[in-house]
Structure 1
Amino acid sequence: MKSMKLVGMVLLVACISLTSCSPEDGKDGLPGAQGPQGEQGIQGPQGEQGPQGEAGQDGADGQDGQDGQDGQGFDEMTQYGSITLNLSGTRPDGEAFEDSNIFKFTALQADELILNSISIDDTDPDNTLYGFIVQRFLTAPDHVSNNSKIYFELGFTNIGESSEEFLGGQVDIIDYAVIGADNKFFEIFDSYSNPGVGVSDFEFTNLVFNAEDNNHLTFSYSFMVTAAENDSGHELTVSGDVDVYLLEQITP
């Protein structure tokens, strides 16, 4: 009996010894092979568009391009000088206006050149008579359209002398449109004479004629026209400058 108890105690001690031992952990093994890639997930919904950004500053202006060439015939039709026209008054609708333009085109066909000419009569030993006819178009004339023009026919005696005198004349403004900034226009198609009805303060100043310089004629002009005698329906002031070269016709 004693032997049995002794054996039991030995076994108990042995069991306690085995369970109380703490053996050291072993080294990590080699990594395993990578597994296959999983399937791509479903794409999420698109987000809302963000607000528009502020506009950037304008870039600097580029350099001006080169001037284009004048059209064919331009030099020929403008070589004989020009006439400026200034108008001041009231439109037919009651609005005040001021208008300026330059008439610089000369018709070059032979039967039109008489409208850019001079005649001189010195048969009177005491007086030399000068007759000037000057016509200029606003644009290149074609006798179908673009026929807006201004016309002078003037007579003087003894230009450049103390006895110089203005004998009279006529100024025509033909088929000319006064166009306002509001895109409204009216037409002037009038003839003004001195002496004449409704025309006053007819003046020519700074008159110079030089026959030695290709019949170069320059002067300034101004006059008033009553409402009844011009197409604006109101009093009109007309003024401007003439700087032209005139032709002289020769005949057999």
Structure 2
Amino acid sequence: MGGPAPCPVGRGAGSPSEPLQLMGRSPAAVACLADAVTLTRELLRGAEVEVPGAARRAQLTHAAPVPVWVAAGGPRTLRMAGWVADGVFIRVGRHPAHLRAAIDAVRAGAAQAGRNPDQVKIGAIFHTVLDDDLERAALISRSMAAGYCEYSPRLFDAPGFEWNGPPVEELKAKVWPDFHHTAGLRQSGQVVSFLPDEVADAFALYGTPTMITGQLEQVLGDGLPISVVVTHPMPAPLSGGPSPYLDRFAAEVIPLLRERLSG
């Protein structure tokens, strides 16, 4: 019985409403995720490694030393990612205060580990509501803001936002499974319609292609060291089905953004 129990396989650090919770599992400790990153890197380098619960050491047949990235949002996970990862995807909305704080946490973790913070790449994930119906887009953006408050209330603190409505835990009874993953995003936005525009603007990209281009231009023009941008469509396209979002983003947002950034 000596030593701690091995970190459970198949877990990750995440918000309480992530799929692991829906499966009846709780998020893993940050230390377990750090161990998993180290284990993954060793496997990708072709090393033989011990895997908890396995009868023999594991080794990849076709190993390649590719970069290992971690998705993170909370301060502890962000610092851990800076300590061990090659790149970090941050998901904290698009408010400059949130982005800077997240990047600072990653860089602090890298410096603490004796690494060059500039060598840890930064990616940013933004929920994106590409919709010409501005009323609908604004409602869905409010649902996104409520989702961030739901699992990370601290994100309302830095910009000085106030939640001037019923407690989010009370409102969750009207939304399933949560404000980010519900099938009725417009309806969940109506539940939190009391949130002002400045709150909606702090978290999601939303509106017409021109509006979203401007929002991205503002984020990328702030001098932050963001190497990769991932725009996560909301509502998410059905698996295997047609995606007008992808066609429109490729045809209407990317060329305009490239033109503005190069100009």
Whether the TM-score (by the shorter chain) exceeds 0.5 is no
Greater percentage in strand: 1
Greater percentage in helix: 2
Q: Which has the higher Rg, Structure 1 or Structure 2?
A: 1
Give TM-score, length-normalised by structure 2.
0.19
